[in-house]
Amino acid sequence: LNRRLAEFGTTIFAEMSALAVKTGAINLGQGFPDTDGPEEIREAAVRALRDGRGNQYPPGPGIPELRTAVAEHQRRQYGLSYDPDREVLVTAGATEAIAASLLALVEPGDEVIALEPYYDSYAASIALAGGKRVPVTLRPDAAEGRFRLDLDELRDAITPHTRLLLLNTPHNPTGTVLTRAELTEIAKLAVERDLLVVTDEVYEHLVFDDGDGTTHIPLASFPGMRERTVTIGSAGKTFSYTGWKVGWITSTPELVTAVRSAKQFLTYVSSGPFQYAIAEALALPDSYFASFREGMRAKRDLLSEGLTAAGFDVYRPAGTYFITTDIRPLGESDGFAFCRALPERVGVVAIPNAVFYDHREAGAPFVRFAFCKKDEVLAEAVSRLKSL
Ligand code: PMP
Ligand code: GLN
């Protein structure tokens, strides 16, 4: 293994899902739903397969139907307009979009700022690109019940070598949704310091308004941002088909062309028949997105209340399908040790947030649980965790 990748080992998701299988524990670790998405969308994929649409290599940028549907989705949801022919690129999930964006836009030695804790592929993709990662730590704010970005820390992290900001909102694993005020400041900084931004918005449809008006606002919609932002989306999260690996980016023709240069040598293309199905999925009525979100909100509430009753300090997420907890009230302080022992102790798998940090000590007492599971599975997990 080369030096760029030597520090990474096996992704925590593979390790913890294998542990769940081995011990028969309830898997609230890796984020995938235990119920498939809409049947009509699955049938759309079956039809594409049967009709021979997408069974051979689809076009490099993605099938026109899907690119048009992505552009239409950005217009309908956010009033952002993208040319489907020049400003949309279909990728093998968000994972490839992240890797291809960094490989295309980062020079060896460039600094890339990412909000810590960060989704595990960010660090590896920055490393593959030869970049230097510069973490800015989201700080737990017990009074507000959320993890917060310190804008001064972000400002201080920018140097003449900073090439790119890699953002994620709604944020995995903390569930933080960046506010309009925070995004406004981030956008100002990016413009002032002439930075590119790659923004991972795969949880855009999992934002819960708890009466405070919280909503997803794409960074590309702020002044001066559209021309410097690569926005990443994924069908896996929104339509509950994580195995299909259909993702996309929207950006300027120049940035899309750059990312495509890298993408064409990673997978070239992927997911032929599924692209047709997701083109139909993106055109589902608003009621689909609302009921998906409300269903997940109920699960969030179920698991948040259960974890609180089991003695965890809970950071109730404004978005995503993850809950970050603090295990210190249980007399624990090492999330790694806690998660490794949890399947044997009570038959539940969770993810230690420390794996998402460079400053491991900052993440040590935090543990992530996924709530994209059947109510009875969540209830059983809670009853097991109560015996801790
Ligand atoms: N970004 C974030 C923040 C994620 O949580 C995930 C994982 N689900 C991905 C990207 C990868 O998405 P995909 O499965 O579409 O590659
Ligand atoms: N994004 C999912 C999570 O955070 C897992 C994806 C993966 O297994 N790489 O749990």
pTM recorded for the entire structure: 0.97
Task: Flag whether the ipTM exceeds 0.95.
Answer: yes
278-296 average pLDDT score: 98
Residue among 219, 192, 190 nearest 204 (CA): 219
Residues having CB closer than 6 A to ligand 2 are 11, 13, 30-31, 172
Mutate to test the pocket of ligand 1, among 16, 91, 95 (most ligand atoms within 8 A of CB): 95
Q: Which two tokens stand for residue 316?
A: 């109730």
Residue 20 has pLDDT above 90, yes or no: yes
Q: Reply yes or no: is the peptide bond before residue 160 cis, omega within 30 of 0.
A: no
**78: Cα within 13 Å, side-chain hemisphere:** 21
Mutate to test the pocket of ligand 1, among 30, 32, 119, 206 (most ligand atoms within 8 A of CB): 119
10-14, 315-319, 368-372 — which is least confidently predicted?
Answer: 10-14
| Amino acid letter for position 10 | T
Distances (CA, A) of 327 to 150, 166, 308, 338, 370: 24, 28, 11, 9, 16
Q: In whole numbers, what is the pLDDT of the chain averaged over residues?
A: 97
Dist CA 139 CA 233 (whole Å):
26
CA of 361 to the centre of ligand 1 (A): 25
Q: What is the pLDDT of residue 142?
A: 87
- Nearest residue by C-alpha to atom 3 in ligand 2: 31
The per-residue pLDDT for range 64-117, each reduced to its tens digit, is 999 999 999 999 999 999 999 999 999 999 999 999 999 999 999 999 999 999
**Under 8 Å between Cβ of 111 and 134:** yes
Q: Hey, what domains does the chain have and what are their CATH numbers?
A: 12-36+287-385 (3.90.1150.10), 39-286 (3.40.640.10)
CA of 378 to the centre of ligand 2 (A): 19
Q: What is the 3-state secondary structure (H, E, C) of 148-195?
A: ECCHHHHHHHCCCCEEEEEEECCCCCCCCCCCHHHHHHHHHHHHHCCC
**175: Cα within 13 Å, side-chain hemisphere:** 28
Q: What is the DSSP string of 346-379?
A: HSEE-EEGGGG-SSHHHHTTEEEEE--S-HHHHH
Partners of 162 in the beta sheet? 111
The per-residue pLDDT for range 9-18, each reduced to its tens digit, is 888 889 899 9
